[in-house]
Amino acid sequence: MDLKNVASLTYFCPEFILSATILILIILDLLAARQRRGLAMVALVGCVAVLIATLDLYSAQPGYLFHRMMILDNFSLFFKVVSLAAAILCIWMSLSSNEIKQVHEGEYYTLLLTCVLGMFFMASSCNLLMAYLSLELVSLTSYVLTGFLPHNRRSSEAALKYLIYGGVASGTMIYGMSWVYGMTGSLDYVAIQTALSQGPYNKAALFMAFIFILAGFGYKIVFVPFHMWSPDVYQGAPTPFTAFLSVASNASGIAIMIRFFYPGVSRLLPSGDWAFLSGVEWPQVLLFLSMITMTIGNLCALNQRNLKRMLAYSGIAHAGYMMMGLAVLNNDGLSAILFYVVVYLIMNVGAFLVVAMIANVTGDEDIETYRGLAWRGAIVPAVCMAVFLFSLTGLPPFAGFIGKFFLFSAVLKQGGAFGALALVAAINSVISLYYYAKVVKTMFLDMPNPEDKTISIAINDFTLLIPLTVLTVLFGVYFSPLVKYASQSLRFFIK
């Protein structure tokens, strides 16, 4: 299926609904000033409608849309569902967040949904130009949302840093894309592959082009050395948006990267392994970057005092774990990444949710403010936080363990030098235990000071927390459906 513009519109329903919701939000914002809950509800209903429309597309025939600018297949639908889920959770969190009360909500939700729209395009783009444009759409909205807290120096600083890093990274990326275009004469992934498989190509030049492109993707996935922006942004941005960014931005980066490096420039062998272009050794670069990313992320997280900043470094480490799956060049690795993305969505948003809940009461995100949390009337959030943190560490019986288990098994299946990668990752898990357990220690093992106030949590805050905790445990014990979903989402449409 290779559709022209008008014919494609039938399969563009989710994006239409999303755009309509964005427009309605803008208009409503003008008409009904400061109707906080109403706007959020409209955004939420819009997202649910988009979700239904997206799920509906699973029954459609996969194919190209808009003159091969975009693609409709299980893989793109998977990432659309993930970014939508993150958006829904983020809006829900924003409802009860004190931080968001200070801002102009109409713009906040509008920008958030625009960011989701960009992620939809990222998930389905199969043309370098489209990839670049969608990535920029996500980046631009993210810059604004990061700096959204008025009169907050940290927030403004974070936005500026994000902008500068983002500008450099995307500039580098588009430079790399221009090299690819120069060598192949096309921006379309299929045409690029055809050109590369037919004619001779300059290996060194292509390798450099790939590295440049990697810079742009790497900045979205947050891997070393493109990670500098993330701790400041995580710390400075409003917490609900940080939760969204940490998961959805990472996931979209992974989507666009898999799409380009796997079906784009590699070939699938019948065994389920992928063959890369001979002489262009990007998997090895990823292998080393993956080791460095997880190590640096974990080591930097060890001494953080601010919980959001610590979670930023832990996010870098998790990006490193996920990259293991990208470096191994087999379908097991890819489906392990998809599984991990879902699990990471649940546990990371859960952790940020607790951060937001506690910050609503104490107004602070320092780990020190969590002192004796369990004994200060907040035993349920403390237990949930412990579950999320241990899941992030990768301990059974939590979902994070299963995610890591699949990644490790994909790596060990390749054998040989990948054994070293698995070993590095395993030791990194031990290092990460130290800082996750430090938070747990502060919450449970330390006794509260007399002047620490009791924390009372409203019942409706638990509506999101409890389901996320239950899912974290459930997917640690019974994960067959999720495994199936991840491996089915690996069906790329390639012509």
| Binding positions for other proteins, rule: CB under 8 A | 375, 390, 395-397, 401, 405, 408-409, 412-413, 415, 419, 422-423, 426-427, 429-430, 433-434, 437, 441, 444-446, 479-480, 483-484
DSSP one-letter code for 149: S
Q: Residue 204: what residue type?
A: A
Alpha helices in 364-461 (DSSP H): 379-393, 399-414, 418-440
119 versus 425: smaller Cβ distance to other proteins: 425
- The answer to whether the CB of 261 falls within 8 A of the CB of 189 is no
- CB count within 10 Å of CB 200 equals 6
- Between 397 and 448, name the residue whose CB sits nearer to other proteins: 397
Identify which of residues 445 and 470 has a Cβ nearer to other proteins in the complex. 445
Residues 6+ apart with CB under 8 A from 181: 128, 187
Cβ nearer to other proteins, comparing 283 with 396: 396
User: What are the backbone angles phi and psi of residue 22, rounded to the nearest 5°?
Assistant: -60, -45
Give the other-Cβ count within 10 Å of 347's Cβ: 28
For the bound state, the minimum distance from the C-beta of residue 310 to other proteins, rounded and expressed in Å, comes to 16
Name the residue nearer to other proteins (CB basis): 34 or 413. Answer: 413
- Identify the bridge partners of residue 306 per DSSP, sorted by sequence position: 366
Q: Residue with structure tokens 């429309």?
A: 53
Rounded Cα gap, residues 329 and 233, in angstroms? 32
Are the beta carbons of 169 and 216 closer than 8 angstroms? yes
Contact status, residue 249 vs residue 312, Cβ threshold 8 Å: no
The least CB distance from residue 423 to other proteins, in Å, is 7
> What's the CA gap between 240 and 255, in Å, rounded?
22
The helix (H) or strand (E) run that includes residue 64 is: strand 63-65
CB of 266 to other proteins, least distance (A): 23
Q: How far is the CB of 409 from other proteins (least distance, A)?
A: 5
Q: How far apart are CA 187 and CA 207, in angstroms?
A: 17
The least distance separating other proteins from the CB of residue 96, rounded to whole angstroms, comes to: 26
Distance (Å, whole) CA 489 – CA 399: 19
Closest to other proteins by CB, 7 vs 302, is 302
- Tokens standing for residue 194: 């055809």
Which lies closer to other proteins via its Cβ, residue 40 or residue 407? 407
CB of 427 to other proteins, least distance (A): 7
Minimum CB–partner distance for residue 382 and other proteins (Å):
11
> What is the nearest approach in angstroms of other proteins to the Cβ of residue 433?
5
Indicate the residue among 44 and 455 with the shorter CB distance to other proteins: 455
